[in-house]
Amino acid sequence: MEKNKILIVDDEADIALILKLQLEDAGFETVRARDGVEALEAVAAERFALIMLDIKMPRMDGLEVLSRIRTDETPVVMMTAHGSEDIAVEAMKNGALDYISKPFSADDMLQKVERAISIDRTRKENARLQRQLDEERLKMAAVLQGMADLLLAVDLEGRIITASREAERVLSAEGSIGGRPLEEVLHAEVPGGELPARTVLRTGESCLDVSYTLHVGGRAVPVLSSAAPLRNAEGDLVGSVEIIRDISKLKELEQEKEDFVSMLSHDLKSPITAVVGSIDLVREGKLGTVTPDQREYLNAAIESCEEMVEMIDTLLGIHKFEAGKMKLTFREEAPGALVGRSVGKFQTVAERGGIRLFTTIVPDLPAVSADRSSFNRIIGNLLSNAVKFTPEEGEIEVSADLVRDPSSITGEVPEEIYADDQLPKEGDFVRIRVRDSGVGIPEEAIGSIFDRFVQARNRRQGKTRGTGLGLALCRKAVDAHGGYIWAESEAGKGSVFTILLPALPEEPEE
58 has pLDDT over 60: yes
For residues 508 and 510, give the distance between their C-alpha atoms in angstroms, rounded to a whole number.
Answer: 6
Q: How far apart are CA 450 and CA 466, in angstroms?
A: 13
* pLDDT at residue 95, as a whole number: 86
Do 99 and 87 meet the contact criterion of CB atoms below 8 Å apart? no
Antiparallel, parallel or unpaired: β 219-231 and 207-216:
antiparallel
Other CB atoms within 10 Å distance of the CB of residue 265: 16
**Roughly how many angstroms between the first and final C-alpha of the chain, as a whole number?**
86
- C-beta atoms surrounding 289 within 10 Å: 6
Domain closes at, from 291, 323, 355: 323
| Rounded CA separation 198/185 (Å) | 13
Write the CATH number for 113. Answer: 3.40.50.2300
Considering the domain boundaries, does residue 186 fall inside one? yes
What is the model's pTM? 0.51
pLDDT value at residue 464: 47
Query: Quick one: 291 and 235 in the same domain?
Result: no
Q: Residue 503 above 90 pLDDT? A: yes
Same domain, 341 and 318: no
Band of pLDDT at residue 460, cut at 50, 70 and 90 = very low
Q: What is the mean pLDDT of residues 432-449?
A: 86
Which candidate, 172, 135, 134, 179, places its Cα nearest to that of 150?
172
Q: Based on the domain organization, do 274 and 237 belong to the same domain?
A: no
Given a cut of 70, is residue 507 above it in pLDDT? no
Measured distance CA(177)–CA(160) in Å, rounded: 7
Q: How confident is the model at residue 448 (pLDDT cuts 50, 70, 90)?
A: confident
Cis bond upstream, residue 366 (ω within 30): no
pLDDT at residue 71, rounded to an integer: 80
| Structure confidence at residue 458 as a pLDDT band (50, 70, 90) | very low
Same domain, 270 and 399: no
pLDDT at 229 over 70: yes
In a domain, 507, yes or no: no
- Work out the pLDDT band at 147, boundaries 50, 70, 90: low
The answer to whether residues 494 and 440 touch, using CB atoms and an 8 Å cutoff, is yes
Instruction: Please check whether residues 296 and 413 belong to one and the same domain.
Output: no
Nearest to 8 by CA among 84, 70, 72, 100: 100
Q: How many residues does the chain have?
A: 510
Strands 484-489 and 495-502: antiparallel
Same domain for 387 and 309, yes or no, is no
In-domain check, residue 104: yes
Mean pLDDT of 97-102: 86
Same domain for 346 and 478, yes or no, is yes
Helix pair angle (292-323, 470-480), 10° resolution: 40
Are residues 294 and 383 part of one domain? no
Q: What is the dihedral of CA 440, 445, 446, 447, to 10 degrees?
A: -170
**What's the mean pLDDT in 192-210?**
90
Share of the chain above pLDDT 90, in %: 24
Confidence category of residue 384, pLDDT binned at 50, 70, 90: confident
* Percent of the chain's residues with pLDDT above 70: 91
Give the Cα separation of 479 and 501 in Å (integer). 10
Whether residues 305 and 336 fall in one domain: no
Per-residue pLDDT, averaged over 466-473, amounts to: 71
* CA–CA gap between residue 475 and residue 309 (Å, rounded): 20
Quick check: is 133 in a domain? Answer: no
Q: Give me the mean pLDDT over the 466-492 stretch.
A: 83
- Give me the residues paired with residue 6 across strands: 30, 50
Question: Does residue 152 sit in the same domain as residue 189?
Answer: yes
Residue 407, CB-side half-sphere exposure with 13 Å CA sphere: 5
Statement: residue 152 has pLDDT above 70: yes
Q: How many domains does the chain have?
A: 4
Task: Give the pLDDT band (50/70/90) at residue 483.
Answer: very high
131 is a domain residue? no
Phi, psi of 391 (to 5 degrees): -75, 170
Phi, psi (deg, nearest 5) at residue 257? -65, -45
* Residue 291, domain member (yes or no): yes
pLDDT at 435 over 90: yes
Q: Is residue 139 part of a domain?
A: no
Q: Domain boundary at 220, 246, 272, which?
A: 246
Q: Give the closest residue to 9 by CA, choosing from 150, 41, 461, 508.
A: 41
Mean pLDDT of 153-179: 84
pLDDT grade for 268, boundaries at 50, 70 and 90: confident
Task: Quickly count: other Cβ atoms within 10 Å of residue 419's Cβ.
Answer: 9
The DSSP 8-state label assigned to residue 443 in this structure reads G
- CATH code, domain carrying 470: 3.30.565.10
Claim to verify: residue 120 and residue 94 sit in the same structural domain: yes
pLDDT higher than 60, residue 381: yes
Same domain, 263 and 340: no
Q: Is 47 exposed, middle or buried (0-12, 13-18, 19+ CB in 10 A)?
A: exposed
Residues contacting 269, CB < 8 A, separation 6+: 309, 312
Q: Is the pLDDT of residue 433 over 90?
A: yes
Q: Which residues pair with 356 in a beta bridge?
A: 395
| Sign of the alpha-carbon torsion through 470, 476, 481, 483 | positive
Mean pLDDT throughout 385-411? 90
List, for residues 407-425, the tens digit of each pLDDT value: 888 887 888 888 888 888 8
Rounded Cα distance between 179 and 167, Å, is 14
Among 469, 439, 444, 441, CA closest to 454: 469
Indicate whether 118 pLDDT > 60.
Answer: yes
In a domain, 266, yes or no: yes
Domain of 173 in residue numbering reads as: 147-246
Give the per-residue pLDDT at 459: 46
Angle between helix axes 248-263 and 292-323 (nearest 10 degrees) is 150
pLDDT tens digits, residue range 290-349?
A: 888 888 888 888 888 877 777 777 777 777 776 666 778 889 999 999 899 888 888 888
Tell me the Ramachandran region of residue 22: left when phi exceeds 0, alpha when psi lies from -120 to 50, beta otherwise. alpha
Of 295, 257, 256, which Cα lies nearest the Cα of 279?
A: 295
Task: Give 131's pLDDT tier (boundaries 50, 70, 90).
Answer: confident
* pLDDT at site 353: 86
408 Cβ contact partners less than 8 Å away, ≥ 6 residues apart = none
pLDDT band of residue 276 (cuts 50, 70, 90) is confident
Q: Examine the fold and report which residue of 67, 97, 126 is the final residue of a domain before the chain moves on.
A: 126
